[in-house]
Structure 1
Amino acid sequence: MKKQKIEKIEPSEPSMQFVLNYSEGREQTSRVSKEEIRRAIENLDKYGDVWLSNCRTVITPYGNCSGISCMVVPDGNPQVAVYFAMTDGLTRYVSGGYRTDDIVRMFYNYFERLEIPEISDWEKGYYTPVSPDDEPYYLYVDNEEYKYITYEDVLAALENLEAGKCTLMLLKTPGCQNGYLEVRGTKDDYIVETGGIMKKEIGWCS
């Protein structure tokens, strides 16, 4: 059985926002907890692939990390993958042969401390997705997720941020393939972060 090594990454402030995605059987959620992570990994046969994605990339020696996932493979041994954002797609490092408890520990380390496994000997691959033009944008305000949003909903979130009713607003697609816009902080001290190219009809980036 492989031993897990950890590469420590210093966390950034404010705390990272996460989304837990399931390939089937359950809606994605931004209300991520250690209990939810363990339940997902222990029920891979029910949920299929499980992906813990962060709303801002984490800077590591291997690149800007965008998430960690585990998936069922035909031989029955789950694989773990760590993803890194590129300008034209994703770089993925994959390895298998881990016990469920080891996988849970990897997810916990990433969720709580932004630590990735030691992946220097993992298989490396590249993924260039086809841009899903019809993929909708979701709005995240602090830990709340909103679907089926309008332009007015985004403006209302920005107004709430200015009024001090929330501290973070994030606009992105579920697959993170059409860019994102994040605004966080307090009045007169905002941090605005964008990534990729957002669809023109949103009106944020060209």
Structure 2
Amino acid sequence: MDEKKEPTIEDESPTDLVWQRLSSELVADCRVFRIERRWNADPRSGRAHDFYVLDAPDWINVVPLTSSGEVVMIEQYRHGTDEVTLEIPGGMVDDGETPREAAARELLEETGYRSPELIYLGRSHPNPAIQNNWIHTFLAQPAERIGNPVSDGTEQTRVRLVRLSDVPHLIAQGIITHSLVIVGFYFLSLYQNGAIEAR
């Protein structure tokens, strides 16, 4: 009986695709990210082109599951799309914080829930075309309510409990639209199917 082999990608060096950094300058500091203009040389022709990159801190997402199989989700207004979205808790990793510490803080601040365990599910690039950061995804299980969300400053959230079994339909129906939230649920499915291990 043949052993099952893990899928692989051919080991080819991508060095012929790498653009050389010639110079860069800070264009704007926008509090939650900085805009950097970079001049890079095309590896084929050597010709220089300018590109704009959002220099941002790492982010976290948390999939909080209650003991009854509900996801603790939040509704909040998003200024980019001018609408209220249904999401999982998330936010920036502050200076001096680890992603796990940020996940625990954001979970409590945005939902009033906490969990005795945060399981690291993985990380992904939010948008490598223009951003240089990672988003780290955690599972909080069991999530238990200990208070109310901290709605101060410009961020206000409303908690919604959603059955985990309903999430695929909410994504398919366009009710959950945030791509990073969808990635979080994909990581959860990989974990539940044994494709990734708890960390």
Instruction: State the TM-score bracket (shorter-chain normalisation).
Output: under 0.3
TM-score (norm 1): 0.25
Between structure 1 and structure 2, the one with the greater Rg is 2
Structure with bigger RCO (C-alpha 8 Å, 6+ apart): 2
